């Protein structure tokens, strides 16, 4: 057996035997510094070295967004960095926000009624069918705008009425 190319020399059987220099080139030599090359990295993954072994991690793990919260207006933190106390406070706030009534914007039949036509948070006009939320002070806002606002400040952006006090007092009167 041999290759199909004609060569003036015969096949070299020494290539089949492993030598010390061959083992060193594959990381099995006597030198402790040498290590094998990293393994094949499939497309869409990241190669990492952990505990002396190479592992691959899909890129989509790096693209999973972590929610960002603002414990105070001047602070921004990832959800994974919040203390248990802060997480409880956020959960309570979300619970209160969900108790505020919501609806769909309807300007009326003729459209000339004296209705609020603009969300003062985003400064965009309300459009028929926009999801809105009503505050206890009777001001209305786009649902997403006011929910985001209330996660930072629990006061009405128009009249500065504390939303939590008005909401809690409405439960006491019923």
| pLDDT for the residue 106 | 87
CATH 3.40.190.10 fits 68-108+116-164, yes or no: no
The backbone torsions φ and ψ at residue 173, rounded to the nearest 5 degrees and listed phi first, read -80, -20
Residue 45 has pLDDT above 60, yes or no: no
| pLDDT for the residue 168 | 65
Instruction: Please check whether residue 92 is in contact with residue 83, taking contact to mean a CB–CB distance below 8 angstroms.
Output: no
Q: Report the percentage of the chain scoring pLDDT > 90.
A: 25
Mean pLDDT of the chain: 72
User: How far, in Å, CA of 137 to CA of 162, rounded?
Assistant: 9
**Taking residues 8-15, what's their average pLDDT?**
56
| pLDDT for the residue 167 | 66
Q: Report the percentage of the chain scoring pLDDT > 70.
A: 48
Instruction: Please check whether residue 149 is in contact with residue 158, taking contact to mean a CB–CB distance below 8 angstroms.
Output: no
When comparing pLDDT for 128 and 171, which is higher?
Answer: 128
Number of neighbouring beta carbons within 10 Å of residue 110: 6
Q: Are strands 45-50 and 53-58 parallel, antiparallel or unpaired?
A: antiparallel
| pLDDT for the residue 73 | 61
| pLDDT for the residue 91 | 85
**Taking residues 135-159, what's their average pLDDT?**
92
pLDDT in tens, 71-94: 666 667 777 777 888 888 888 888
Residue 147's closest CA among 159, 158, 135, 161?
135
| pTM score, whole prediction | 0.53
Side-chain half-sphere CA neighbours of 10 within 13 A: 3
Residue 37 has pLDDT above 60, yes or no: yes
| pLDDT for the residue 129 | 92
User: How far, in Å, CA of 123 to CA of 145, rounded?
Assistant: 10
pLDDT in tens, 103-138: 999 887 655 555 668 999 999 999 999 999 999 999
Select the highest-mean-pLDDT range: 32-41, 51-60, 119-128: 119-128
User: How far, in Å, CA of 155 to CA of 162, rounded?
Assistant: 4
Residue boundaries of the structural domains of the chain: 68-108+116-164
């Amino acid at each position: 057996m041999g290759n199909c190319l004609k060569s003036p020399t015969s096949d070299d059987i020494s290539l089949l035997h492993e030598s010390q220099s061959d083992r060193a080139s594959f990381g099995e030599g006597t030198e402790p510094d040498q290590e094998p090359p990293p393994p094949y990295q499939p497309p869409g993954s990241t190669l990492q070295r952990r505990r002396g072994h190479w592992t691959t991690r899909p890129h989509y793990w790096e693209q999973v967004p972590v929610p960002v919260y603002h414990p105070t207006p001047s602070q921004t933190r990832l959800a994974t960095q919040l203390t248990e106390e802060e997480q409880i406070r956020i959960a309570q706030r979300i619970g209160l926000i969900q108790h505020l009534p919501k609806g769909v914007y309807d300007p009326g039949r003729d459209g000339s009624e004296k209705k609020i036509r603009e969300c003062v948070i985003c400064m965009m006009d309300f459009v028929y069918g926009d999801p809105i939320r009503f505050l206890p002070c009777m001001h209305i806002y786009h649902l997403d705008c006011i929910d985001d606002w209330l996660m930072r400040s629990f006061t009405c952006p128009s009249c500065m009425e504390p939303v939590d006090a008005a909401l809690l007092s409405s439960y006491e009167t019923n």
